[in-house]
């Protein structure tokens, strides 16, 4: 697996937009993130197109269901030979263990099992929402740390979290636990709907394993140039 990947979020509605976007990166093997929007429209075709073109894939479908259903779904996703998949830690330990079993069963002989990471709390969830809607009285950072530990105890490879949570998650789960951080912006970038943003440099310094970058690259006037600028700061060149 790539060390410390820069993952480009392909938040496009269909393959029509993906092809011209990726053509600008001719010759570069990217690590891309495919989310629900694209996968629910294009499904396995989008994945095989990306793989054929040499890109690594984080398939961000955030599974959350009863253990048996998640296990069967993961068995199918593993057969796509993607690099990372994910679940909601809120599904509990039994569900996360089942996810890993499904992945082990579905992994093609001779291939590596996809890494499985957990969403702790969505970045759209505020502490106020935790209390009033989910009836969780603990502070948000305590909840995030607890869910990360639950994922680690279930055998998962890591979590999706904000840059600002990385240090406490690594302290709780060990330095080998993977932290994948979205909400990345260069200093002068528009924050869009992200709240707790960080620069690629900050993410590197705080120990993020990988960063997910969408609009700062996909909406840039020159996506290839934007990608290289983020890359340089992420790699500390
Ligand atoms: O465009 P932007 O860089 O904000 O995109 C970030 C990507 O990371 C989006 O695909 C978003 O869905 C995803 N993400 C996030 N926050 C999370 C989990 C995933 O922004 N907690």
Report how far ligand 1's centroid is from the alpha carbon of 214 (Å). Answer: 7
Residues serving a catalytic function are: 62
Longest dimension (CA), the chain: 50
Ligand 1 pocket: which of 8, 9, 59, 210 to mutate (most atoms <8 Å of CB)?
Answer: 9
Three-state DSSP at 137 gives: coil
Token pair of 84, please? Answer: 């990372």
Report how far ligand 1's centroid is from the alpha carbon of 183 (Å). Answer: 6
Q: What share of the chain is helix, strand, coil (3-state, %, to 5)?
A: 45, 15, 35
Nearest CA to ligand 1 atom 12: 35
Q: What is the pLDDT of residues 38-96, one digit of tens each?
A: 999 998 999 999 999 999 999 999 999 999 999 999 999 999 999 999 999 999 999 99
Phi-psi region of 217 (alpha: psi -120 to 50; beta: other; left: phi over 0): alpha
Report how far ligand 1's centroid is from the alpha carbon of 140 (Å). Answer: 19
Q: Which of 122, 65, 117 is nearest to 94 (CA)?
A: 65
Comparing 1 with 140, which gets the higher pLDDT?
Answer: 140
pTM of the predicted model as reported, rounded to 2 decimal places: 0.95
Percent of the chain with pLDDT over 70: 99
Q: List the domains of the chain with CATH numbers.
A: 6-235 (3.20.20.70)
């Amino acid at each position: 697996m790539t060390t410390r990947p820069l993952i480009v979020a392909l938040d496009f509605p269909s393959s029509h937009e993906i092809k011209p976007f990726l053509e600008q990166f001719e010759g570069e093997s990217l690590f891309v993130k495919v989310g629900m929007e694209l996968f629910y429209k294009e499904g396995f075709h989008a994945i095989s197109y990306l793989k054929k073109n040499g890109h690594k894939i984080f398939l961000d479908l955030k599974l959350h269901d009863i253990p048996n259903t998640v296990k069967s779904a993961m068995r199918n996703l593993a057969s796509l030979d993607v690099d990372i998949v994910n679940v909601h830690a809120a599904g509990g330990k039994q569900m996360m263990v089942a996810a890993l079993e499904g992945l082990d069963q579905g992994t093609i002989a001779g291939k590596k099992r996809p890494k499985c990471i957990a969403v702790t709390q969505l970045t759209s969830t505020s502490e106020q929402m935790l209390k009033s809607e989910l009836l969780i009285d603990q502070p948000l950072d305590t909840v995030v740390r607890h869910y990360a530990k639950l994922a680690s105890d279930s055998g998962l490879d890591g979590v999706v979290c904000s840059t600002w949570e990385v240090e406490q998650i690594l302290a709780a789960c060990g330095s080998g636990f993977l932290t994948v951080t979205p909400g990345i912006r260069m200093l002068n970038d528009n924050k869009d709907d992200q709240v707790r943003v960080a620069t690629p440099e900050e993410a590197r310094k705080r120990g993020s394993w990988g960063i997910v970058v969408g609009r700062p690259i996909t909406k840039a006037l020159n996506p290839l140039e934007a990608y290289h600028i983020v890359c340089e700061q992420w790699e500390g060149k």
